[in-house]
A and B are shown apart, each in its own frame.
Chain A
């Protein structure tokens, strides 16, 4: 097990280096600059000398290759650089946002799993029933809505109309509910569908039929064989969904003024705070890789045979 974890951790290094290279190149050719973004509201003409000095102070006048060398050296020592915008270390900016991001991602995923998996299970055990049909129609519909639109509707319904929940802001579970719902709907739909399909696959598999014919009770069949095997397939979806979730969080965080990484990332792109952009993307990527490593470990825990295959 330890060897598996170590191997997976080592395998992350080239991936992260690759990501770092891609985003560095991408953001070194981006039009616009931090100085330009600073004056976008037209409040005052930026003095050209000041703008030039700003560029020099930020090290933007050095050749690309020099900047890349500097950047990689920094990364190797765990330094994410200094934000153009605030002048603080990017690690600090990112660190301030991770808590909120995790909170939202876990709440959304928790909500999706809590409802999606049982729903999929239930639907699979009664294929063709009204519940099955409605659940699956709901799931496809949930996958077909633009996220910001769904969020806006939730906001007007629950905050303005019913006044049950705050419409925005950070702090306390009440503020978490609406963004988590908006973000959780599509993983919920996917999980319900995946679970249903996996369970159906497993139910029809030979070993379950064998177990049934041996006279195992239905409950035991379901909990023992079906649940365990279906869960493996569901786990894969959960792992992959986390990546998509972090992406979609960008939209939800912006809408609900949620102070997460996605919000920092988008604002940093618009303000051309390149070190902050790179830092937030790297942290999001790391987050995704770790989640998938955890999923792999869970795999092994559920079904030790996989460990053999993996090594």
Chain B
């Protein structure tokens, strides 16, 4: 029932954000960085500037669509890193077991115990503000859940007949993991990753608020929103549009994740990050 609606609405919102990111240079009416005119700063939304201009006199519409590139990059790349790390560690730990499993479990427990936002903050402080740092900070700190699920799935699958059969037939470990285990656990992992992308976008906003975000002048939604916070009473559109972009995109990702869960992984509704 609701699953399909989730999928469609969520997918639709995400598609809009992705389209904005892909076509940013064509749909933006101005350059997001260089077209700054201080004489036209803080213009309200109107015909010339659809979303108004910011304090620097830059077109907010153009910055929001270009910001989609940065924010989605942050979400996608960092979540891809988390998924790869979590899956590799989880699958190998579950499949091989033994001392490696102990090591991975111990490591997972350590990482799980440090609140991920705080860990990301520490990494940002070490590496300094910037996109690269942000990808690393968010990409290294949020894989524990993926690892746990992957490990549990690998444990469950390895005693299945077809996996045993593949082993008897002489397939190597790598081949078995890639061909037998991964495809059979892809559903839940995709769901976690989808929800994680939204989480990363929110974390980026939180880090911007704490003063350790992206390196300007290229806009990210989080940094735009965070920069606008002193101004909300006088120039509300500064915050409204990046805020709305974050809200709708993360909402879309969450709905999409829910929808995918119902579709790909129906038996585990209660297992949520």
A residues apposed to B, CB below 8 Å: 14-15, 18-19, 22-23, 26-27, 29-31, 128, 133, 136, 140-141, 143-149, 152, 156, 190, 193-194, 197-198, 200-201, 233, 237, 243-244, 246-248, 250-251, 254-255, 262, 265-266, 269-270, 277, 281, 284-285, 288-289
Q: Which residues of B contact A31 (CB under 8 A)?
A: 126, 128
Contacting pair A19 B114 (CB below 8 A)? yes
Other A-B contacts than A19-B113, A140-B258, A281-B118, 10 sampled, CB-CB below 8 A, are A22-B114, A31-B126, A136-B2, A143-B250, A144-B198, A145-B250, A149-B243, A197-B269, A197-B270, A288-B115
The answer to whether B123 has its CB under 8 Å from any CB of chain A is yes
Per-residue CB proximity of B188-201 to A under 8 Å, as 1/0? Answer: 00000000001000
Q: Which residues of B contact A136 (CB under 8 A)?
A: 2
Minimum distance in angstroms from A64 CB to a CB of chain B: 14
Q: How far is the CA of A200 from the CA of B122 in the complex (A)?
A: 40
Return the 9 tightest CB-CB contacts between A and B, nearest first.
A247-B115, A247-B117, A18-B110, A144-B250, A197-B269, A146-B205, A144-B251, A197-B270, A148-B209
The answer to whether B206 has its CB under 8 Å from any CB of chain A is yes
Q: 18 pairs across A/B with beta carbons < 8 Å?
A: A22-B114, A136-B2, A145-B247, A146-B209, A200-B269, A233-B270, A243-B112, A243-B113, A244-B115, A246-B118, A248-B117, A250-B115, A250-B121, A250-B206, A269-B121, A281-B118, A281-B122, A284-B114
Cβ-neighbour of A193 out of B116, B121, B232, B272 (below 8 A): B272
The answer to whether B226 has its CB under 8 Å from any CB of chain A is yes
Contacting pair B206 A147 (CB below 8 A)? yes
Q: Which residues of A contact B107 (CB under 8 A)?
A: 18
Contacting pair A146 B222 (CB below 8 A)? yes
Contacting pair A144 B254 (CB below 8 A)? yes
- By beta carbon, the residue of chain A nearest B251 is A144
Contacting pair A19 B269 (CB below 8 A)? no
Q: Which residues of B contact A133 (CB under 8 A)?
A: 2
Per-residue CB proximity of B109-138 to A under 8 Å, as 1/0? Answer: 110111111100111011010000000000
Minimum distance in angstroms from A188 CB to a CB of chain B: 14
- Those of B225-272 within 8 Å (CB) of chain A: 225-226, 229, 232-233, 239, 243, 246-248, 250-251, 254-255, 258, 269-270, 272
- By beta carbon, the residue of chain A nearest B128 is A31
Q: How far is the CA of A270 from the CA of B121 in the complex (A)?
A: 10
Interface centre among B123, B233, B254, B258 (most CB of A within 10 A): B254
- By beta carbon, the residue of chain A nearest B248 is A144
Contacting pair B118 A18 (CB below 8 A)? no
Contacting pair A15 B225 (CB below 8 A)? no
Contacting pair B1 A250 (CB below 8 A)? no
Q: Which residues of B contact A247 (CB under 8 A)?
A: 115-118
Cβ-neighbour of B118 out of A14, A270, A284 (below 8 A): A284
Q: Which residues of B contact A288 (CB under 8 A)?
A: 113, 115
Cβ-neighbour of B1 out of A29, A128, A243, A284 (below 8 A): A128
The answer to whether B45 has its CB under 8 Å from any CB of chain A is no
Cβ-neighbour of A251 out of B116, B123, B206, B258 (below 8 A): B206
The answer to whether B211 has its CB under 8 Å from any CB of chain A is yes
Given contacts A197-B270, A237-B272, contact A266 B210 (CB under 8 A): yes
Interface size class of B (residues with CB under 8 A): 35 or more
Contacting pair A18 B115 (CB below 8 A)? no
Q: How far is the CA of A18 from the CA of B144 in the complex (A)?
A: 15
Given contacts A15-B110, A31-B128, A148-B229, contact A250 B269 (CB under 8 A): no
The answer to whether B88 has its CB under 8 Å from any CB of chain A is no
Minimum distance in angstroms from A31 CB to a CB of chain B: 6
Minimum distance in angstroms from A7 CB to a CB of chain B: 14
Q: Which residues of B contact A147 (CB under 8 A)?
A: 202, 206
Q: How far is the CA of A5 from the CA of B6 in the complex (A)?
A: 42
Cβ-neighbour of A26 out of B123, B211, B225, B258 (below 8 A): B123
Minimum distance in angstroms from A167 CB to a CB of chain B: 14
Q: How far is the CA of A26 from the CA of B111 in the complex (A)?
A: 14
The answer to whether B106 has its CB under 8 Å from any CB of chain A is yes
- By beta carbon, the residue of chain A nearest B267 is A201
Contacting pair A146 B202 (CB below 8 A)? yes
Q: Which residues of B contact A141 (CB under 8 A)?
A: 247, 251
- By beta carbon, the residue of chain B nearest A189 is B254
Q: How far is the CA of A203 from the CA of B115 in the complex (A)?
A: 34
Q: Which residues of B contact A15 (CB under 8 A)?
A: 106, 109-110, 113
Per-residue CB proximity of B1-13 to A under 8 Å, as 1/0? Answer: 1100000000000
Contacting pair B114 A285 (CB below 8 A)? yes
Q: How far is the CA of A22 from the CA of B114 in the complex (A)?
A: 10
Q: How far is the CA of A27 from the CA of B119 in the complex (A)?
A: 11
Minimum distance in angstroms from A128 CB to a CB of chain B: 6
Cβ-neighbour of B272 out of A27, A194, A254 (below 8 A): A194
Q: Which residues of B contact A156 (CB under 8 A)?
A: 232-233
Cβ-neighbour of B251 out of A23, A27, A140, A200 (below 8 A): A140
Interface centre among A133, A144, A197, A285 (most CB of B within 10 A): A144
Q: How far is the CA of A201 from the CA of B265 in the complex (A)?
A: 13
Q: How far is the CA of A133 from the CA of B255 in the complex (A)?
A: 13
- Those of B118-171 within 8 Å (CB) of chain A: 118, 121-123, 125-126, 128
Minimum distance in angstroms from A235 CB to a CB of chain B: 12
